[in-house]
Structure 1
Amino acid sequence: MRGTACLAIAAAATPVTVWAEPDAAPGLAIVVTGAGLPLPPGAPAYGSVLIDRPRLENGASSRIENLLSDVAGFQQFRRADSRASNPSNQGATLRALGGNASSRTLVLLDGVPVADPFFGYIPFSALVPDRLSLVRVTRGGGSGAFGSGAVAGTIELASATRDQLAAVEANALYGSRDSREISASVSPNMGAGFASLSGRWDKGDGFHTTPRDQRVAATVPAMYDSWSANLRIAAPIDARSEVQFRATLFDDRRTLRFAGADSASQGQDASIRYLSRGRWQVDALAYVQARNFSNIVISSASFRKSLDQRDTPSTGIGGKIELRPPLGTAHALRFGMDTRWSSGTMAEDAYNANIAANPLTARRRASGHQLTTGFFAEDDWTPAALGGRLVLTGGMRADRWAIRNGTFRAANAAGMLTANNVFPDRSNWVVSGRAGALFHVSDALALRAAAYSGFRLPTLNELYRPFVVFPVTTQANAALKPEKLKGVEGGFDWTVDDKIMMSATLFANRLDDAIANVTVAPNLRQRQNVNAIEAHGAELTGRARFSPQLTLTAAYAYSRSRVSAPGALLDGKRPAQVPRHAASATVDWTRGAATLSATLRYVGRQYEDDLQVDALPDALTVDGFLRLPVSSRFSLIARAENLSNSRVVTRNAGGSIDLGTPRTLWIGVRFGH
């Protein structure tokens, strides 16, 4: 029912009045690719990094979060991927701004924000890499025309276009520990448009995240079972405009550390998008998201249920309209508005895990609403006097935000209220902007510089929901203020005949009122606004093509990040979950349809906590991928994750440790592409 409701709402939200060219030019062919509008000329001033389709198709794990690790500086709250971590940990961030289970990076799929409306985490298991055309990662804040929330950067996922999709495609793989992965898609033409229906199912017995010397009778491997289905339709309206529709369903279930410690996340998303490529270019979209999350916490002392986060339904509804008027070749102006409304409710039951009967002790319920509406304008100016060598870009946003209807109620086992908090409504305006310059010194060398500001609202989860990762309890904080970022960066891009490419960036960012999990007592933390997180660093990206078959790509990020919290114990310390060094390198050999690649990744030492007590040692891993065609449509596939079987510590709470993916080998077949 919820999925059907989502589709109905999205269909009802279709824009009726649009700016478009009234008549197509005679004889102009209608070609629907399913792509979005072209990038404005000033976009390279902000130093984007691209992950192309061949890389997306040929990853060792087929997990988008692992492929994003090719971008130096990308990190999740924890090092584990979406098969072996709690879904609510899957926040994405960049630029060493501090680990946070909510995303400080705005993640978009075909222009639609994909973060969970209540928690702010990214449903990585539902984002299938080989369904994508490319991934564009823009490090650094400044939301521009994307939407609010991009304090650490923006990750844009673009769906595969018509020419990248075979009529029928399928993959089937079997891996270590009885792991299975099956995916398939059909993408027929529909007149001048097309449709694509795809699905993926993953299941595995999982590995022991608990080190051998810490296992007990209740310890179990990190089992997982997830599926997702996606329908995408692109159809022409006339020769210059089209409509795109998407519906996604997903279900993800995991068991972590102890028997009975089960989590589940579900989603039903739908969106509709109108694009016009006429004299007035238009990008208008509307979307709806219906999500839910549940989680059972098992005591590591008695191994009985201590908390049942049984139901967390949430809804996100939003839209955007962007207009690009015809101003000639000197200016590329875009302006418009976007809005997002989020609502969520958390219902959980607490139990006494120290008594064999495991009785109920409390029922808790928290809920709230958020609304953000932004107005934006951005212009890219290419002065004719310099022959197109200089591009200046700048834009402003004005966002009205509101946090409303926040409540927290608790009752004991008898139903008597022990807490009944109704939090005051809050609202305000935030003005932010960004500006950049791109100067082509020569055909090979381009210099760029940028400055930006941005903001992120605390999520409903941060405001109202406490959580426990035994033995540490983290309290919510309904008084949290929005985070606000200011930053500058500068760098260069150097390209020689498409054989050598190198990019370097220096950056300095300051995140005021940063939300952090602050230690307030032994085994007790609270989400608080600290004065600021200051991050400075350098990012390097390179590619060398030694021959038509052999390519090396590499990335490295160095950061010096510190917390400014005068008078607090964490003042001057590195933010939790932030490594100083991160690097990756991939060697890729391709001949025809045959592919062999190896990826080396390194992540430096980081800390679990704000006081730098619990360390996560550095880690070096090696992944591999092999595709060997046996006919024009069939290929054999072999994959290797963590081939060196390196020990990767993903959590350390006072010596209680979780480990990341050990050596995992896969073999399978691919049909159709």
Structure 2
Amino acid sequence: MRHLSLFLASGLAALASQSHAQQAIPDTIVTATRIPTPAERVPAAITVITRQDIEERGYQSLAEALTAVPGINLVGQGGLGGQTSAFTRGTNSSHTLVLLDGVPINDASTPAGAFNFGQDLLGNLDRIEVVRGPAASLYGSAALGGAINLVTRQAPQGGPGGKVFAPFGEVAGGSNSTIRGNLGATGRVEAFDYLVSGQSLSTRGSNALAPRLQTTNGERDGFRGQSTMARLGWTPVEGSRLEGIVQWRQNNFGLDGSNNAFRQADDPNYSGEDRRWFGQLRGETRLLDGAWTTGLRGFTTEDRRRYVNRPNPGASGIADDLYRGSRTGLDWGNTVRLPGFGAFADGALAFGVTHALEESRSLSGSPASRTRVFAQQHVTAGYASLQYRAWERLDLTAGLRQDSTTGFTDATTWQLGAVLALPEVASRLRISAGTAFRAPSLYERFGTNASTLGNPALKAERSTGWEIGADTDVALFGRPRAATASWTFFQSRITNLINSVRAPLPGFVFTSVNVDRADIHGAELGLTLRPAPWLETTANWTITEAEDAITDRRLLRRPEHVVSITARVVPTPRLVIAPTVLFTGRSSDFLITNTGDFGSRGAVRGGTVVNLGATYKATEVVSLFLEGRNLGNSRWEPTSGYVTPGRSLLVGTRFAL
């Protein structure tokens, strides 16, 4: 009876063990398999950005933190608040799924469900796990290119007796009248633990438009953002836990639009507001002497975006657009440790069921042609993931998922992977293959106005992909891991891509149809050098060939080459210097001419950005830091017409008691 009451008390939370494992064992990855697994045994290309990385490199936003990740190309339209898209391994911007503590947070009201990486600050995060490659068999729709899990900070878990209180915070200021602050505390009282934190950032920003444009007047696009988070947990006995999380953030920022001649131009009256509420209640308990962990989670997330533009002498654009997207659901998740047999050991099975209700309530566009989306859809899925280790060196993984979405054919996805350890040559070889899909968005299915007609009969976009890669440690200078070389080759084919075409109706009416296909292949090459205890440097080179399978033309905004070089230099035990060099090669885009006109398709030149972070540990609990961005003042345009924010410098202090 006692075990039954504990199971019921564990109430609303699935897979709570995921974030706990990530906190307790930094080298354990959950996002890639749903089962806590050592990183070297995961059959996927993964990158983990820790809290230490965020602070030492001076990452301020989610977009900044992802710029050096292999296989991901961030394309922004200005600085903080501007639309920033991620193209993972050459897939579309809507093909990267973003999770917050395991819950999908892609906005259901966006036209294709794409995530805006220019909005989220990092004060509440503990780590970021990036999994490249198809991940739909684990998380469902949208993970054709990969999945990114944002893991929030967590307090020490409760235990028998004792009290703990640990405040933390930072304050910084610098260029463009930027002021940033973060304050929080974690604590534990008996079996209860808690965390509260808040962050605020205000900046005048910089001009998002390229200085070459004749239509720019130097108007800055400012940004003000706030976020808060509260977390409360209860661990009545070892192996059983109940936890609730609430998070809120709101950003206000400036935008640019078109002037009276329909040219890209500065617009001082164009502004945006982006707000998100997120909450979940989750619990877990262990059964069968700890061999079976089961849990239930309830979650809800709501995004509210509003863009307002009033006419002025230089720009005639008028807008009052409101987008509201929400996702509410339940997860039941389980992890069962399986017995070994013969040469097979370390077996584990993860399985569960999830259900979510997605809604969009949006009204946008000009007064003469308002786009309305008032629609919802239910998504129900069941999944299972199995893994075993054979002969103490071969890790095998298999996953299967079935998704059912209101109004169109169900989607079945699978994934197979293997990792072979070769200690004789200090290497590991991995290979994986899988399928993925993206369900049509509510806008694509039901959005209507005078010139747009939704298509409820749309099919899901689908992909099949594979990858093979290896990591090798090299001994030099008397150091067993003086260097690590890595390589990954990947390939995917995407069908049923959704595009807008002229509808067979009178007038200029467009609708969405499944007409496009894409072929993508490429390589991720990496080299890490550790010639001395005080120096570590990593170079990553991503090569991507992403083409339209019908026309053989390169897909837009997918550069062929992206190179990142990072280093961590520790000249003294108290000082850490972390420079970053980012080079992005040329890509294809629709060009904005010097007069601000929207031109034809062409090549956008590549560019290089240099950033620097430095941290000095003044005392055991207080550190001083410096963050330098775009130190070379590059005028590179990630998107034609929009320039990289100019040189800036921030100085500050942080403490953790």
Amino acid corresponding to residue 378 of structure 2 in structure 1:
L
Deviates more, 1:203-212 or 1:114-123: 114-123
Aligned counterpart, 2:461: 483
Deviation of 1:501 (Å): 2.4
Aligned counterpart, 1:627: 615
Aligned counterpart, 1:453: 435
- Preserved contact between residue 562 and residue 573 of structure 1 (Cα < 8 Å): yes
Q: Distance in 2 between matches of 1:17 and 1:577?
A: 39
Aligned counterpart, 2:361: 345
Amino acid corresponding to residue 187 of structure 1 in structure 2:
T
Aligned counterpart, 2:334: 323
Deviates more, 1:197-206 or 1:474-483: 474-483
The partner residue of 1:431 within 406, 412, 422 is 412
Aligned counterpart, 2:259: none
Q: Distance in 2 between matches of 1:625 and 1:517?
A: 44
Cα distance, 1:149–1:134 mapped onto 2, change above 3 Å: same
Deviation of 1:439 (Å): 1.0
Deviation of 1:127 (Å): 4.2
Where 2:137 maps in the other structure, the secondary structure is coil
Cα distance, 1:456–1:166 mapped onto 2, change above 3 Å: farther
Aligned counterpart, 1:97: 91
Cα distance, 1:61–1:334 mapped onto 2, change above 3 Å: closer
- Preserved contact between residue 65 and residue 81 of structure 1 (Cα < 8 Å): no
Where 1:574 maps in the other structure, the secondary structure is coil
Amino acid corresponding to residue 481 of structure 1 in structure 2:
K
- Preserved contact between residue 145 and residue 335 of structure 1 (Cα < 8 Å): no
Amino acid corresponding to residue 50 of structure 1 in structure 2:
V
- Preserved contact between residue 169 and residue 186 of structure 1 (Cα < 8 Å): yes
Deviation of 1:212 (Å): 3.5
Aligned counterpart, 1:157: 150
Aligned counterpart, 1:638: 626
Deviations 1:619-639 (A, max 9, x none): 110000111232332222111
- Preserved contact between residue 516 and residue 529 of structure 1 (Cα < 8 Å): yes
Amino acid corresponding to residue 39 of structure 1 in structure 2:
P
- Preserved contact between residue 648 and residue 661 of structure 1 (Cα < 8 Å): no
Aligned counterpart, 1:25: none
Give runs of aligned pairs for residues 236-385 of structure 1, distance below 5 A. 236-257=235-256, 258-276=267-285, 278-297=290-309, 303-309=315-321, 311-329=322-340, 330=345, 331-348=347-364, 350-351=366-367, 361=368, 363-383=370-390
Amino acid corresponding to residue 108 of structure 1 in structure 2:
L
| TM-score (norm: length of structure 1) | 0.81
- Preserved contact between residue 125 and residue 226 of structure 1 (Cα < 8 Å): no
Cα distance, 1:196–1:34 mapped onto 2, change above 3 Å: farther
Aligned counterpart, 1:557: 542
- Preserved contact between residue 338 and residue 373 of structure 1 (Cα < 8 Å): yes
Aligned counterpart, 2:595: none
Is 1:672 the counterpart of 2:656? The answer is: yes
| TM-score (norm: length of structure 2) | 0.82
The partner residue of 1:581 within 561, 564, 568 is 561
Deviation of 1:229 (Å): 0.6
Gaps of 5+ in 2: 1-7, 17-22, 158-163, 257-266, 475-479, 592-598
Deviation of 1:589 (Å): 1.4
Deviation of 1:459 (Å): 2.0
Where 2:221 maps in the other structure, the secondary structure is coil
Amino acid corresponding to residue 379 of structure 1 in structure 2:
L
The partner residue of 2:580 within 592, 599, 602 is 599
Cα distance, 1:462–1:549 mapped onto 2, change above 3 Å: farther
Where 1:556 maps in the other structure, the secondary structure is strand
Percent of aligned pairs sharing the same letter:
22
- Preserved contact between residue 220 and residue 256 of structure 1 (Cα < 8 Å): no
Q: Distance in 1 between matches of 2:431 and 2:145?
A: 17
Where 2:337 maps in the other structure, the secondary structure is coil
Q: Distance in 2 between matches of 1:82 and 1:166?
A: 36
Cα distance, 1:17–1:492 mapped onto 2, change above 3 Å: closer
Deviation of 1:483 (Å): 0.9
- Preserved contact between residue 123 and residue 182 of structure 2 (Cα < 8 Å): no
Aligned counterpart, 1:391: 395
Q: Distance in 2 between matches of 1:104 and 1:537?
A: 17
Q: Distance in 1 between matches of 2:12 and 2:73?
A: 40
Q: Distance in 2 between matches of 1:33 and 1:161?
A: 10
Aligned counterpart, 1:501: 484
Q: Distance in 1 between matches of 2:459 and 2:378?
A: 15
Gaps of 5+ in 1: 1-11, 21-31, 352-360, 403-425, 468-472, 566-570
Deviation of 1:49 (Å): 2.1
Where 2:67 maps in the other structure, the secondary structure is helix
- Preserved contact between residue 79 and residue 644 of structure 2 (Cα < 8 Å): no
Deviation of 1:660 (Å): 1.9
